[in-house]
Amino acid sequence: MKTKQQTDHVALNVTTFREEIQTQGRDSSIDITPAVRQALSKAKISQGTVTVFVTGSTAGVTTIEYEPGLVEDLQAALRRLFPEHLRYAHHEEAGDDNGFSHLRAAFIGPSLTIPVVDGNLTLGTWQQIVIIDFDTHARRRPFIVQVMGV
């Protein structure tokens, strides 16, 4: 007996949101979870992924329990790994004073992908999405939230 192979074609929905936040620089962390949840709500998908990407080479995106003590601990750990007072070739080549900022950002990374199940981000109870600005001064930081799914 022959069976007919059936293929269901489901249209993948991709929605991109451009956002911007004001940062203080100097390892400041900002909880962007509410903005990501709002983007997901507007995109109206039930299964898929959300990708958050911060533009610029001196900021990163990660998850953390966003409470003051842990935020301070993360800042201290990154400062131990990439101290400001060291010699950085970037300072000499580019004439900048933020070589450590670029390294901290590269270590954390510019993006994060979160699965969406039943219309919800699959974050843990104490897990928030944060942008960390490692640069030496305050600025307006653009970031992208891209929602893909069905």
Helix, strand, or coil (residue 95): coil
pTM: 0.92
Residues with Cβ within 8 Å of residue 101, at least 6 apart in sequence: 58, 134, 135, 136
Written as tens digits, the pLDDT of the chain (150 aa) is 554 565 677 889 999 999 999 999 999 999 999 999 999 999 999 999 999 999 999 999 999 999 999 999 999 999 999 999 999 999 888 889 999 999 999 999 999 999 999 999 999 999 999 999 999 999 999 999 999 999
Q: In order of start, what are the domains of the chain with their CATH numbers?
A: 13-149 (2.60.120.460)
Query: Strand, helix or coil at 66?
Result: coil
